[in-house]
Amino acid sequence: MRTPIEAPITSTLSRRGFVRAGGALFVSLALPAQQAQAPAGNSVDPTQLPSWLEIRADNTILARTGRTETGTGMSAFYAQTLAEELNVRPESITLILGDTDRTPDGGYSAGFLTGALNLRKVGAYTYQALLTLASAQLVVPVTELTVTNGLVSGGGKQVSYGQLVQGQQLDLKIPISGTPARVDATAGNGLSGLDGYVVTGDPPMKPISQYRIVGQSYPMPGIPAKVTGRTKWSCDVKLPGMLHARMIRPATLGSTLISLGTLDKQRFPTAQVLRKNNLVAVVSPDEWEAISAARAVANTTKWTAWAGLPGSDNLTATLRAVNWGAPCETHGNAGTVATALAGAARTISASYEQPYVRHAPMGPYVAVADVKPDGAVTVWTHSSHSQGLRAQLAHALSVPVDKVVVRWLDQAGQYGRTTFGGDGAEADAVILSQLTGKPVRVQWTLQEDLAWSTVSPGWVADIKAGLDANGRIVAMQNDSYMPKQMDARLLGAILAGLPCSTSKPSNFLALEWVYDRIPAVCQRGFGMTNLAAETPAGGLRGNIMRTPGQRQQNFVLEGLINEAAASAGADPIQYRLDHTTDQRLIDVLKATAKAADWEPRPSPGPGARKSGPGTLTGRGVNIMRRSNAYWVGIAEIAVTPETGAVQVSKFTIGLECGKIINPRQLDRCMKSGLIMGLSETLKEEVTFDKERVTSTDWSTYRILTMAEMPEIRTVQISRDDQGFGTGGEAANGICAPAVAAAFFDATGVHPRRIPLTPAYVMRLLKT
C-alpha cells in the first residue's frame, strides 16, 4: 500500500481514443493485438512510454530496458524496483532486455544503478498517471487513493490498473536526455555517445522507508526456464537458409595471409571458403561439414611469420623497460607526499605485479547475423552492450546506425569483455553474411576464444608508505603501470581491414579512498598502447574485466596496508580501523570479523615458517569501497611448503551496499564473484611466446575446480539511509589481497604477484 505524494510531474498524459477490446497505457501501437510487439522502426523513441513500459488490460506489465543480464540478477532487480514504484507484484512484470529495436538505449550493463533509476522514474511517472485516471473514474481525490498489488482503492470503490486502461490507448510522454549510440573513431578511448538515455525530471518516487518489495528475496525470473530447458540461448538461433561458419585464424598475432588452402569439393560439396583481407572462414549449410572443411583448409593455408611479443616470462621486465612518460591520471600531489615521506620515522616500499587474465567463459562465443541486400543488419548475440555493439558494427560497415538491429539472448557469462560493444563472433558473422547474402552463424571454438578474445592486461605497480614513530601511515605514493584496457576494436573488423575505433593509452585510477586518516596520498596511473604495439590482429588486446582497475589497484594498496600493519606489529583489522573514520566501513568490517571468528593478533602467526613438512595455516583481511558499497574479505588458507600448494579453506565476505534489493540473489553474486576472484588469485594466467598465445585450453589456462572451492560465509548489511550501491560487482576484487595476507600469516613471506601457483610459491619460499 502506498499513499500518493503530490509533486510536480513533467510527463504528460493524453488519450489517443477508444478501441473495441483490450487497451494499454502506451504510445503509437496501432491495434491492441500489437501490444506485445516492438515500437515501429529500428530505434525506439525514448520519450514515449511504450519504449519503457506497457500497462495492459489484463493487469500484466511489459517493461523494456536496454541493459542486459550478465549473471548478476538485473532481471530480478529491475522487476522489483519497478514493482515497488507501481505497487504491483514483481511476477506480473515481464522484461525485454537489450534488443536495440525494442528497448531504449541503456548504455553498458555495468551501469545498473543508472538503469534502475531510469525504470524507477518511469514507474513513478506512470504511477501518478494511473492515479490521475483512477481519480477521474472513481471520483475520488488523488490524495485519498491507495494502491495494493495494482488495485486502486478510494471512497469505498476499487479499480484495477487493467480496468483503467481497458478499451483505451493513452499517451504518456517521458522526459529524457541523451543521444543515440554512435562510435567516434577520434574519441580518447575510441567511443563516444554510448552511455545511454537518462530519464530526467523529479517524479515522486517512493521513499526507501516505505519499501515492501525491494529488500525481499524474490526468485530470479529466468532460473525455471534454464532448469527446464526452455531458455533460448544465442547458440540456439536458427534462420531459414542459415550457413554455419568456422573461422581460419592467422598462425600468429601479426601474420598476414599468403595463400588459401585447398577446399576438396568432393569431400565437402556444400562448403565454401570466404575471405576478406585476413579474415578467412569456411561456411556450409551443415555445421559438421563447416568444421571438417575448415580444419582441412587451415592445414594448407599459409601465413607470414611474425614474432612481436616479448613472451609472458618477460612481461614484467618488458613493462619495466617502457618509457611511460607522464601519467594518464593523478590523484593527490606527489610533491607533498615526497616531503611527508622524507620526514617519516621509517618507510616501507614494495612492487606488485600480475600477468594477463582471460574472461574464459565456459561456453565459447557465438553470434548469428543476417545482412539484407538493402544493407539492413540483424545480429543475435550475448553482448553486454547492445547499443555499443550496434554502433561498432555500423561504423565498421559504414552504414547508418538505424540500419543495424542487435537482438540479445542468454549465453555463457562474461563480465566486461563486451562492455564497449562486443568482443566475440559478431563482426565475423556480419562480414560473412554480407559476403554470402545469407544468414550466417559463427561459433568460436574454446581454443579460438582463449587465443583471440580480449584480455585484462598485465601490470606492475610501485608503492611506498611512510610511518610515524607509532607505526601509523603518514604518507603514501602509489604508481601503477598498465597497457591499455579499453581496446574496443572488433576482431573480425580488424582482420577484414574495416574501419575500427581507435583508442589511446589508458590506466584509469579506480580506487575509492577510505583511509582518510592518512594525511598525504598520491596515486598515479601510467598507460601505454597494447603490448603487441598495435598489431593488426589481436590476441592481446586489452579490455576491462569485472571490477576494472580497482581490483588490480586494491591488491597493491591493501597489500601494503597489510605489510605496514606487520611492520607496526599491529592486528591487520585494528590497523585499518585506526586509519579511517568512515563509519560504514567500520561497521561492516567489525561485523565480518565477528562472522569469521577473528581473534586480534599481528601477522605473521606464531607458527609461520617457509619450509618443512606438513601444512601451514594463515588468515588475512582486506577491504574495498566501490560504487557506494563497502566490501570486506577474510581468507583462511592452507599452504604446503613441500609442494607449493595453496588451498583456500574458508572465506568470509562482508558487504554493506546501502539498501539491498534482493538478499538471496545478492548472496549468489557475492559467492560467484568471490569464486571468480579466487580463481584469478590462485590459477589464471595467459601465457604466450614471441609469436602467439599458448594457453588455449583448460590444461594450459587453468581455473578453479569444484573440488577447490572453499567454505564461504556471507555477511550482508542493508541500510535504508544510504541509497543503493552496487553489489553485483567487486567481490572478485577482495580476494587477492586477503589470500596474499593469509599466505604471509602462514609463512612470513609477502607474495606480491598473483596467481599463487605451486611453481611461483616454491620459488617464493626459497628466497
Domains of the chain: 12-231 (3.30.365.10), 236-306+365-444 (3.30.365.10), 312-358+453-528 (3.30.365), 551-766 (3.30.365.10)
Helix/strand/coil for 86: helix
Cβ–Cβ under 8 Å, residues 171 and 165? no
Q: In which element (H, E) is residue 95 found? A: strand 93-97
Query: Alpha carbon 627 to chain centroid distance?
Result: 13
Q: Which of 119-123, 167-171, 207-211 has the lowest mean pLDDT?
A: 167-171
Mean pLDDT, residues 254-273 taken together: 96
Q: Residue written as cell 495492459? A: 56
Positive/negative CA dihedral, 410, 411, 413, 417:
negative
Q: Can you name the residues that pair with 553 across neighbouring β-strands?
A: none
Instruction: Please give the Cα distance from 705 to 153 (Å, whole number).
Output: 55
Q: How confident is the model at residue 13 (pLDDT cuts 50, 70, 90)?
A: low
pLDDT at 194: 67
Mean pLDDT, residues 718-739 taken together: 93
- Closest residue by Cα to residue 470 from 570, 350, 607, 613: 570
Q: Which triple of cell numbers denotes residue 236?
A: 540456439
Q: Within a 10 A sphere around the Cβ of 698, how many other Cβ atoms? A: 13
Instruction: Please give the Cα distance from 506 to 484 (Å, whole number).
Output: 5
Q: Which triple of cell numbers denotes residue 571?
A: 592486528
Q: Alpha helices of 216-333 — where are they, by DSSP H? A: 223-228, 287-300, 315-320
Helix/strand/coil for 653: strand
Give the Å distances, CA to CA, from 22 to 58, 94, 733: 8, 18, 50
Q: Which triple of cell numbers denotes residue 620?
A: 588475512
Q: What is the dihedral of CA 479, 618, 673, 523, to 10 degrees?
A: -10
440-443 and 404-408 strand pairing: unpaired
Q: Which triple of cell numbers denotes residue 277?
A: 583481407
What digits encode the pLDDT tens for the residues 379-435?
Answer: 999 998 899 999 999 999 999 999 999 999 998 877 778 888 878 899 999 999 999
Q: Within a 10 A sphere around the Cβ of 304, how many other Cβ atoms? A: 12
Q: Within a 10 A sphere around the Cβ of 99, how many other Cβ atoms? A: 19
Positive/negative CA dihedral, 355, 755, 479, 455:
positive
Task: Please state whether the peptide bond connecting residue 355 to the residue before it is cis, i.e. omega within 30 degrees of 0.
Answer: no
pLDDT at 34: 30
CA atoms within 13 A on the CB side of 463: 27
Mean pLDDT, residues 361-375 taken together: 94
- Closest residue by Cα to residue 465 from 346, 551, 562, 550: 346
Query: Alpha carbon 41 to chain centroid distance?
Result: 29
Write out 324-343 in H/E/C secondary structure: CCCCCEEEECHHHHHHHHHC
Helix/strand/coil for 720: helix
What digits encode the pLDDT tens for the residues 447-481?
Answer: 999 999 999 999 999 999 999 999 999 999 999 99
Helix/strand/coil for 634: strand
272-276 and 645-656 strand pairing: unpaired
Instruction: Please give the Cα distance from 332 to 549 (Å, whole number).
Output: 18
pLDDT at 685: 98
Q: Which triple of cell numbers denotes residue 486?
A: 579499453
Residue 645, judged by CB atoms within 10 A of its CB (0-12, 13-18, 19+), counts as middle
Q: In which element (H, E) is residue 714 found? A: strand 711-717
Q: How confident is the model at residue 18 (pLDDT cuts 50, 70, 90)?
A: very low
Task: List, in order, residues 6 or more apart from 169 with CB less than 8 Å away.
Answer: 15, 16, 17, 18, 19, 23, 24, 26, 29, 32
Task: List, in order, residues 6 or more apart from 52 with CB less than 8 Å away.
Answer: 46, 63, 64, 65, 104, 118, 119, 122, 174, 199
- Closest residue by Cα to residue 549 from 530, 525, 533: 525
Q: How confident is the model at residue 557 (pLDDT cuts 50, 70, 90)?
A: very high
Strand locations in 540-697, DSSP E?
616-625, 630-640, 645-656
CA atoms within 13 A on the CB side of 403: 18
Task: Please state whether the peptide bond connecting residue 755 to the residue before it is cis, i.e. omega within 30 degrees of 0.
Answer: yes
pLDDT at 7: 31
Instruction: Please give the Cα distance from 80 to 732 (Å, whole number).
Output: 25
Mean pLDDT, residues 180-198 taken together: 68
- Closest residue by Cα to residue 384 from 43, 74, 695: 74
Q: How confident is the model at residue 180 (pLDDT cuts 50, 70, 90)?
A: low
Mean pLDDT, residues 1-22 taken together: 43
Q: Would you put residue 551 in left (φ > 0), alpha (ψ -120 to 50) or beta?
A: alpha
Q: How confident is the model at residue 172 (pLDDT cuts 50, 70, 90)?
A: confident
Give the Å distances, CA to CA, from 395 to 6, 192, 392, 537: 46, 12, 5, 18
Name the more confident of 492 and 415. Answer: 492
Name the more confident of 211 and 506. Answer: 211
630-640 and 645-656 strand pairing: antiparallel
Angle, alpha carbons 590-592-595 (nearest 5°) = 110
Q: How much of the chain exceeds pLDDT 70, in percent?
A: 91
Number of H helices, E strands in the chain: 17, 31
Name the more confident of 533 and 326. Answer: 326
Q: Which of 105-119, 183-197, 300-314, 652-666 has the lowest mean pLDDT?
A: 183-197
Strand locations in 238-314, DSSP E?
243-248, 257-259, 272-276, 279-284, 302-303
Maximum Cα interatomic distance, the chain, rounded to a whole number of Å: 85
- Closest residue by Cα to residue 317 from 286, 355, 361, 367: 355
Cβ–Cβ under 8 Å, residues 630 and 638? no
Mean of the per-residue pLDDT values for the chain?
Answer: 89
- Does pLDDT of 169 surpass 80? no
pLDDT at 33: 29
- Does pLDDT of 8 surpass 50? no
Angle, alpha carbons 169-171-172 (nearest 5°) = 140
